[in-house]
Amino acid sequence: MDPSARGRIAIVGAGPAGMATALAAIRCGFQTTIFERHPEVRPAGNILNLWPPPQKVLGLLGVDIVDLGAPADSEFRSHDGRVRARIRLPEAVKAEYGGGFIGLLRPGLYQRMLDALPEGTIRYGHEMTSFTDAGDRVVVHLRDREDVEADVLVGADGINSAVRRGLWGEQPIRHQKLHLVAGYLFREAPDPVTGHWPGWVPVRADEPGDRHHLEAFQGGLDDGTYELVGPKVQRNRYQLERHELWRRRFRPGAHRPPRHVPPSPEGFGRRVS
Ligand SMILES: Cc1cc2nc3c(=O)[nH]c(=O)nc-3n(C[C@H](O)[C@H](O)[C@H](O)COP(=O)(O)OP(=O)(O)OC[C@H]3O[C@@H](n4cnc5c(N)ncnc54)[C@H](O)[C@@H]3O)c2cc1C
């Protein structure tokens, strides 16, 4: 152990919880390692929204939050389209936090958090199978690898947490029956407060997380609100062969699939059934 460290922390899982915990622990002087079962971090879902408090915390953790996302408006509606609440933030907060409530693509946030972590903090391909509480330390058992010892074990291993199971046994998962509709809004003018171009997201050919968007971006799109759909999104509920951007037309009470963006001549957008 690094003699200057305050102690060893082993974190299981390199999702947002694991990365945020590591960033905080490192800043507090702990020798910190994340054990991630996959060979890379894999963002679940695509769109994410952040309020000013998490933006502030990310900044305090050393994450670059400049131009992290686009300013977003937020309102809650009932199933029949009735507006239940509209969120209004003071202009001063909007100006300080790049629009206040921001929308972003999940891989973008993951990359910023990864950039803030010291090299080697995450050990990829390390799956925790179980652990042993040895009183003054914890022994972490890894699949096909040597055991690792730490002073503290943090379970950031998601909804089916093996750490939770090791502590309290099998726990039933409570389903919230919450449905979320998300999309991109393409605009022709920068935001008057921040000067940003809300809704436009950088999509890079060399970014593995962007490949579904690249596939979907083929063909011209009109201004509007779009949702990314396809094989790797939300269990492919519309059974598509390829990724597409579907235009959202919200009609209160209507529960039909959104209008399909016209397919390109190469057959882009063909349905399986
Ligand atoms: C399909 C889908 C879409 C979603 N869309 C959105 C969205 O658009 N916006 C939003 O805000 N939220 C969304 N969510 C919810 C969001 O993903 C979670 O709330 C968030 O990821 C939880 O973060 P976490 O770090 O606690 O866990 P996770 O993100 O689940 O990270 C857990 C990590 O632990 C690793 N791990 C698990 N077990 C082990 C083990 N035994 N050993 C080593 N590593 C292990 C996993 O590989 C993973 O990297 C979505 C979730 C899903 C499934």
Is 3.10.20.440 the CATH classification of the domain at 8-43+114-168? no
Token code pair at residue 170: 């099998």
More confident residue, 4 or 53: 53
Residue 33 buriedness (CB in 10 A; 0-12 / 13-18 / 19+): buried
pLDDT reading at 25 higher than 90: yes
Give CA–CA dist 128/160, Å, rounded: 13
Ligand 1 atom with the shortest distance to the CA of 47:
8
Single out the residue of 157, 158, 156, 138 nearest to residue 148, CA to CA: 138
State which amino acid sits at residue 201.
Answer: V
Binned at pLDDT 50, 70 and 90, residue 273 comes out as very low
Q: What is the pLDDT of residues 56-96, one digit of tens each?
A: 999 999 999 887 888 887 888 787 778 888 888 898 988 88
DSSP string computed for the chain: --TT-S-EEEEE--SHHHHHHHHHHHHTT-EEEEEESSSS---SSSEEEE-HHHHHHHHHTT---TT-SEE--EEEE-TTS-EEEEE---HHHHHHTTTSSEEEEHHHHHHHHHHHSPTT-EEET--EEEEEE-SSSEEEEETTS--EEESEEEE---TT-HHHHHHH---PPPP--------EE--SS--TTT---TT-----TT-GGGHHHHHHT-S---SSEEEEESTTSGGGTT-BSS-EEEE----TT--SPPBPPPPPTT-TT-B--
Query: Looking at ligand 1, which atom is closest to the CA of residue 127?
Result: 42
pLDDT tens for each residue of 134-183: 999 999 999 999 999 999 999 999 999 999 999 999 988 888 877 766 66
How far is 257 from 225, CA to CA, in rounded Å? 14
Q: How many Å lie between the centroid of ligand 1 and the Cα of residue 267?
A: 34
Q: What residue segments make up the domains of the chain, in order of their start?
A: 8-43+114-168, 203-273
Ligand 1 centroid from CA 36, angstroms: 12
Which pLDDT score is estimated for 3?
Answer: 65
Q: Give the span between the Cα atoms of 10 and 154, in whole angstroms.
A: 6
Mean pLDDT of the chain: 80
Q: Do 140 and 152 meet the contact criterion of CB atoms below 8 Å apart?
A: no
pTM (2 decimals)?
Answer: 0.71
* pLDDT given at position 45: 67
Look at ligand 1, atom 22, and give the residue with the nearest C-alpha.
158
Lowest mean pLDDT among 27-41, 62-76, 113-127: 62-76
- 251-263: pLDDT as tens digits: 333 333 333 433 3
Interval 36-40 mean pLDDT: 94
Burial class (CB in 10 A: 0-12, 13-18, 19+), 208: exposed
**If you measure from the C-alpha of residue 253 to the centroid of ligand 1, how many angstroms do you get, rounded to a whole number?**
31
Residue 200, pLDDT above cutoff 80: no
Pocket test for ligand 1, best of 37, 42, 104, 153 (most atoms within 8 A of CB): 37
Beta-carbon count within 10 A of 136 CB: 6
